[in-house]
Amino acid sequence: MSDNILHLKDADFDEQVIEAKGVALVDFWAEWCMPCKMLAPAVEAVAQDYAGKAIFAKVEVDEAGETASRFNVMNIPTLIFFKDGKETGRAVGVVSKEEISRRLDALLK
């Protein structure tokens, strides 16, 4: 697990993502979800590549159901991209490291 990925619960989500300035990527996942495990290495690699440029967080949906529900996360894995606390897009299912990077680059411009 990458050092620059926050592990958020319902109680600290707003402070770390919604109230934060800049770009954030939040990975909604679950321990039992095989596609989530397939996506994890791509998210970790991007988190290392973009360290200091964006916030990276994981939300375990079974532990932070309130946050998952608030953002209408119906399927996992779901990546939600934020800029200055506002959702700017999402990707559902397993996506490539290149796709994640492309979307972050667009937000960081």
- pLDDT tens-place string over residues 42-94: 999 999 999 999 999 999 999 999 999 999 999 999 999 999 999 999 999 99
Which of 17, 36, 68, 80 is catalytic? The answer is: 36
Please give the model's pTM, rounded to 2 decimal places. 0.96
The yes-or-no verdict on residue 34 having pLDDT over 90 is: yes
Active site residue 92: no
The yes-or-no verdict on residue 15 having pLDDT over 90 is: yes
Active site residue 26: no
Which of 33, 57, 61, 100 is catalytic? The answer is: 33
Collapsing DSSP to helix, strand or coil, 6 comes out as: strand
pLDDT of 68 reads: 97
Buried b (16+ CB within 10 A) or exposed e, 39-73: bbebbbebbeebeeebbbbbbbbeebeebbeebeb
Local confidence band at 2 (pLDDT 50, 70, 90 cut-offs):
low
